[in-house]
Amino acid sequence: MELKAVCDLDGDRARRFGALYEADAVFTDYEEMLANADIDAVATLTPHERHAEQVLMAVKHGKHVLIEKPMAATLEDALKICEAAKSKGLHVFALRPTCFMPDSAGLCNWCQMGPSERCLWFAQLVPAWGLGRVTERPPTSVGFIRAAQAGCPASPVMDSSR
């Protein structure tokens, strides 16, 4: 997967983000970005009041869409999105936003600590059936796997056996 484009109404912010993540193009006009044939899918990361308008526009341009929940501000708009995507044979994925959850921030901190011997432990980012959240458990708790022992010295590994 490649980041082909970034779009933001604030051109300076879009350029900074695009440069940081090496995007091929930067836009301040969403519809202009959607007209780019190199783009197969978009992530709509805007306030939920704008989701329906932006997702429907992306579907109209033949793009698959990744969107954070809620899919739309109303059930009616969510159903319109589903119907439009289905009619075009496209996928719209509504995902639970996790970027601001304490567990996600904790994981980022662990990964930035250095070599796998020091930090690469990972557990589920959601409450683990009574075991508490990641930040409440030490790296030696049940549910953790040491990445180096799992054969992945450079990346976190999730214990999916639970």
Please give the mean pLDDT across all residues of the chain. 73
Examine the pLDDT at 106 and tell me if it is beyond 90: no
Tokens linked to 132: 């508490």
Q: Alpha-carbon distance 60 to 75, whole Å?
A: 20
- Is 5-95 a CATH 3.40.50.720 domain? yes
50-81 residue pLDDT tens: 889 999 999 999 999 988 888 888 999 999 99
Give which of 65, 134, 125 is closest to 99, Cα–Cα.
125
Give the pLDDT of residue 113. 56
Give the pLDDT of residue 46. 85
What are the CB-based long-range contacts (under 8 Å, 24+) for 126-129?
128/162, 129/162
Q: Alpha-carbon distance 63 to 15, whole Å?
A: 23
Percent of the chain topping pLDDT 70: 59
Q: Answer for the pair 36, 3: CB distance below 8 angstroms, yes or no.
A: no
Quote helix, strand, coil % in the chain, to nearest 5: 35, 15, 50
Going from N- to C-terminal start, the domains of the chain cover 5-95, 102-146
Examine the pLDDT at 124 and tell me if it is beyond 60: no
Q: Model's pTM, two decimal places? A: 0.60
Give the pLDDT of residue 109. 59
In which element (H, E) is residue 82 found?
helix 75-88
Average pLDDT (8-20) is 92
Range with the lowest mean pLDDT among 19-23, 117-121, 134-138? 117-121
Give the pLDDT of residue 107. 55
Q: Alpha-carbon distance 5 to 19, whole Å?
A: 10
Examine the pLDDT at 152 and tell me if it is beyond 60: no
Give which of 60, 16, 9 is closest to 34, Cα–Cα.
60
46 vs 128, higher pLDDT = 46
